[in-house]
Structure 1
Amino acid sequence: MSSSRLIRRLLQGRGHSSALPSRIDVQPPAPWHAPDSVWRSVWNWLHHDKPSSPKSLRTLDLARDDFCSALEGLPFDDAMDLRQRGAHARSLRELWHLRADLYNVVARHRSQSEADRRLQAINRHFPRRASGNTPTSQDLRHG
């Protein structure tokens, strides 16, 4: 019997109808990106005259925009302060740490369900992993 079949059978025996996880955890981005390979570094060095915008800066800008949008309609001092902190975040990791404050502010001034809804727009910018499972190859590429 294959290992995946065995796992599926064990999970079904424990009352699980499928092997799919029921909860997804949002993981913080890695503090440093993976270094380029030697060949990629040489290629970039040879083609240094071509201007290009780094993908990570574009991703950070999009995440900042979504973060500030999640605070729309909240004209309170704590929301304004958080909007400023989010707009000037220096990294995705810094934005990841501001998620709890965002949830707190929205839940206090609106509702928990509204905070959950607004946080989903932010969470799409961060690596995900099913809780209790080992990271998949796709998770490793995004983290």
Structure 2
Amino acid sequence: MDSAEVQVRTAVTQQGILLDQHATQETVTSRDVDLLTTQVAELSVRLQELQLAQNPTPTVPPTYDGDPNSCRAFLSQCFLVFALQPRRYATDESQVAFVITLLKGRAHDWATAVWDASAPFCATFLEFRAEMILLDLG
């Protein structure tokens, strides 16, 4: 064998070794990509679960018109909404405002007047609730 032939054989052998290394690396990379794809899919599912847990489908109580027989049930429904969506109704002000948006008729007229007047019992939901019950709006 002459020198040129030896060089060609050596070059081909080296190319074969490099191709094997590339194939091995491609296999490893492919497995890594598959693993990452699986992890991303699992994280996406978990994120959706967490979002649903933090933002459940909002339930809105029916409007309340001041009927004393349904006041406590209405207010209990509002309290449940706050419990199910604590981030959305994190402040007493947001809770009282939410309740007022569900009022109609004389109950709405009363609540709007006391809200506009910044009545002290509008500061917390529990005080507002107590005042509604006390005034027999319900």
TM over 0.5: no
- Give the structure-1-normalised TM-score: 0.21
- Give the structure-2-normalised TM-score: 0.22
Higher relative contact order (CA 8 A, sep 6+): 1
- In terms of fraction of residues, the more helix-rich structure is 2
